Amino acid sequence: MEALQILLQDDHLVAINKPAGLLVHRSRVDVHAQEFALQMLRDQIGKLVFPVHRIDRPTSGVLLFALNKECARELSSQFADRTVSKSYLAIVRGKTPESKRWDEPLIEKQDQATDRKARKDKPAQDAVTEFVSLDSWTVPFSAGKYPESRYSLIEAKPLTGRKHQLRRHFNHMAHPIVGDTTYGDRRHNRLFREQFGVSRLLLVAKRLCFLHPINGQAVEVEASIGPEFEYALAQLAQHSIQKNEQA
């Protein structure tokens, strides 16, 4: 794998643009994986790094690390206290409302390989997602009983940090994220593979805003969406037969 793209680095923290498909660190999720963001970044900059949050393996985008344990504790506290602002871009099935707030508690999603010791009877935890629609398209390809298919580009802000929150919430809203093989719609995933040659999860951790752990100043880190996501947008625009741009 190529060197990781560093978005921000100083004496106390470093942020990268994590590629889709890369695990944050070693995990039982895939015991055969050989590359991990934590180890790759450590070797790349020649320093110990401490992860302060996670993004799903198939999701690309901003991933933040601290360069010492004190800063890691401070940044982790900001995530726990929900003072960090997170913004994602996603392509979802269907024509979404212009904006929406989705407040739906989620039962903790446990992984058989990694959460074997976790409690099985935990109550549902509060989970809130807000989003706005940025664009939408209708394309002349069928994914089922209709001759056309509709998709939307949305900017989503998870106000809580539950496991797979965005992927689960958008599935429950009947707007699953394209390319999601766990919670998505396999018919639309197949359409993107066959018509556009795109198979990745179309979800990007686009922006992260937090307070610097040392000087307290506001920090904003933003990642590019990457070539596959850009290509998917270009294909939707090229084949669109009804594009609805919103001011």
Rg (alpha carbons) of the chain, rounded to whole number = 19
Q: Which of 114, 121, 112, 52 is nearest to 86 (CA)?
A: 52
- Residue 239: count of CB within 10 angstroms of its CB: 15
Quote the strand ranges of 109-185, DSSP E. Answer: 128-139, 149-158
Quote the strand ranges of the chain, DSSP E. Answer: 5-9, 13-18, 50-51, 60-66, 85-93, 99-103, 128-139, 149-158, 203-211, 218-222
Longest dimension (CA), the chain: 57
Q: How far apart are CA 93 and CA 178, in angstroms?
A: 7
Q: Is 180 a catalytic residue?
A: no
Exactly one of 11, 30, 56, 111 is catalytic; name it: 56
Angle made by CA atoms 164, 152, 233, in degrees to the nearest 5: 100
Tokens of 244: 């609805």
State the catalytic residues.
56
